[in-house]
């Protein structure tokens, strides 16, 4: 008799009257808000303006969702285009199936478009948002729990995940790989925050550290999974992807540190607030807060400066509205 295990939800959807609230979609949306919230705090600490992260996320998030779904459908095409399968299911994103590799790649394209429109360097934006993305993944992985998918090998450990029987799965106790990856992503977020403060990472190196650290964990977690997957030379496709992306991220960190050492002094030309190299992110946040009062008094004395402050306020308001829509 199993005395301890993690139960699975009896259903992945809750009906609020006529409106279905799907657990998978809710986790994805909550993860996006966490990423934007933390990214905004880090962006302001680096000298940027409030709302910029949300404005750019309006471009990055839709691109990321499309890319994540495309990667999943392409790498698991047999689930949708084999004999007896319905290709229309490829569009049912609420049933699960987002590949992080495609989400990050396409999301980066969307972020690049948003950054280009505002004259912001993409590497600086990526550094600010990196820990938030890791936390978003940590939250999003719980969507797999709602759908009872992506679990590992059978186990009798106290934290085993109980899976109920269905047409595509066998009842039993399995490794909760969704939980392993969620906890790993939380650790990655704290690692990036610590390393960024300790070593003043810039020019995309904080983001590269996030990528490398995530891939290191994804490799061994992916190896534990038992769901159907394509194999190359005995290894799952996602394991190979993790290895290749890990190497590329490490190479980028090494080369970037030599070519462009240090951190960007100005991340957003519009803000005109360079962050001193010797200050930590916390110091920069305090300076930004202290500067708010000074800006108010300067605006009263100089009408032109007041106009600039008004523009920044409008930018923050637009950003908040964009985050609410996402």
Cβ neighbours of residue 229 closer than 8 Å, sequence gap 6 or more: 76, 236, 237, 238
Phi, psi of 145 (to 5 degrees): -65, -45
Q: Is residue 34 within 8 Å of 139, Cβ to Cβ? A: yes
C-alpha pair distances (Å), 274 with each of 19, 55, 104, 302, 325: 47, 21, 28, 21, 31
Residue 287 has a pLDDT of: 46
Instruction: Please determine, for residue 290, whether its predicted confidence score (pLDDT) is greater than 50.
Output: no
Instruction: Please determine, for residue 188, whether its predicted confidence score (pLDDT) is greater than 70.
Output: yes
What is the rounded average pLDDT of the residues 69-78?
87
Band (pLDDT 50/70/90 cuts) for residue 115 is very high
- Taking the CA atoms of residue 267, residue 273, residue 278 and residue 283 in that order, the dihedral angle to the nearest 10 degrees is -110
CA–CA separation, 88 and 91 (whole Å) = 6
Band (pLDDT 50/70/90 cuts) for residue 60 is very high
Phi, psi of 319 (to 5 degrees): -65, -45
What is the rounded average pLDDT of the residues 127-149?
95
Query: Which of 45-59, 262-276, 306-320 is predicted with the least confidence, judged by mean pLDDT?
Result: 306-320
Closest to 176 measured CA to CA, from 217, 219, 221: 221
DSSP 106-140: HHHHHHHHHHHHHT--HHHHHHHHHHHHHHHHHHH
Residue 199 has a pLDDT of: 95
What is the rounded average pLDDT of the residues 309-315?
41
Instruction: Please determine, for residue 277, whether its predicted confidence score (pLDDT) is greater than 60.
Output: no
Token match 């891939």: residue? 215
Cβ neighbours of residue 259 closer than 8 Å, sequence gap 6 or more: none
Residue 150 has a pLDDT of: 85
Residue 321 has a pLDDT of: 39
Residue 13 has a pLDDT of: 82
Cβ neighbours of residue 271 closer than 8 Å, sequence gap 6 or more: 47, 48, 49, 312
Instruction: Please determine, for residue 10, whether its predicted confidence score (pLDDT) is greater than 70.
Output: yes
Q: Which has more confidence, 285 or 105?
A: 105
Residue 273 has a pLDDT of: 53
Q: Which has more confidence, 96 or 228?
A: 228
Residue 315 has a pLDDT of: 42
Band (pLDDT 50/70/90 cuts) for residue 38 is very high
Instruction: Please determine, for residue 280, whether its predicted confidence score (pLDDT) is greater than 50.
Output: no
What is the rounded average pLDDT of the residues 216-233?
89
Residue 11 has a pLDDT of: 78
Q: Is residue 12 within 8 Å of 24, Cβ to Cβ? A: yes
Give the predicted TM-score (pTM) of the model. Answer: 0.79
How many other C-beta atoms lie within 10 A of the C-beta of residue 265? 13
Residue 314 has a pLDDT of: 45
């Amino acid at each position: 008799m199993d005395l301890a295990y993690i139960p699975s939800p009896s259903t992945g959807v809750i009906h609020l009257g006529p409106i279905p609230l799907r657990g998978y979609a809710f986790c994805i949306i909550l993860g996006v808000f966490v990423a934007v919230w933390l990214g905004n705090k880090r962006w302001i600490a680096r000298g940027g303006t409030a709302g910029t992260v949300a404005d750019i996320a309006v471009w990055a998030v839709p691109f990321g969702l499309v890319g994540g779904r495309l990667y999943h459908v392409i790498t698991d095409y047999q689930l949708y285009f084999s004999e007896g399968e319905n290709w229309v299911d490829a569009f049912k994103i609420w049933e699960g199936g987002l590949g992080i590799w495609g989400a990050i790649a396409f999301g980066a394209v969307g972020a690049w478009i948003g950054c280009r429109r505002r004259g912001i360097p993409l590497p600086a934006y990526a550094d600010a948002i990196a820990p938030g993305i890791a936390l978003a993944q940590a939250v999003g992985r719980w969507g797999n729990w709602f759908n009872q998918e992506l679990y590992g090998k059978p186990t009798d450990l106290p934290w085993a995940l109980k899976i109920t029987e269905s047409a595509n799965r066998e009842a039993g106790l399995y490794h909760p790989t969704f939980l392993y990856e969620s906890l790993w992503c939380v650790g990655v977020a704290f690692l990036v925050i610590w390393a960024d403060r300790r070593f003043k990472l810039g020019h995309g190196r904080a983001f590269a550290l996030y990528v490398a650290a995530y891939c290191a964990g994804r490799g061994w977690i992916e190896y534990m999974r038992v769901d159907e997957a394509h194999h190359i030379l005995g290894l799952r496709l996602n394991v190979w992807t993790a290895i290749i992306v890990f190497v590329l991220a490490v190479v980028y960190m090494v080369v970037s540190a030599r070519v462009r050492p240090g951190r960007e002094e100005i991340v957003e030309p519009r803000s005109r607030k360079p962050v001193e190299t010797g200050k930590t992110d916390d110091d920069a946040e305090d300076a930004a807060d202290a500067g708010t009062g000074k800006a108010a008094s300067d605006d009263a004395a100089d009408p032109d400066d007041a106009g600039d402050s008004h523009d920044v306020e409008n930018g923050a308001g637009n950003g908040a509205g964009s985050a609410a829509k996402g």
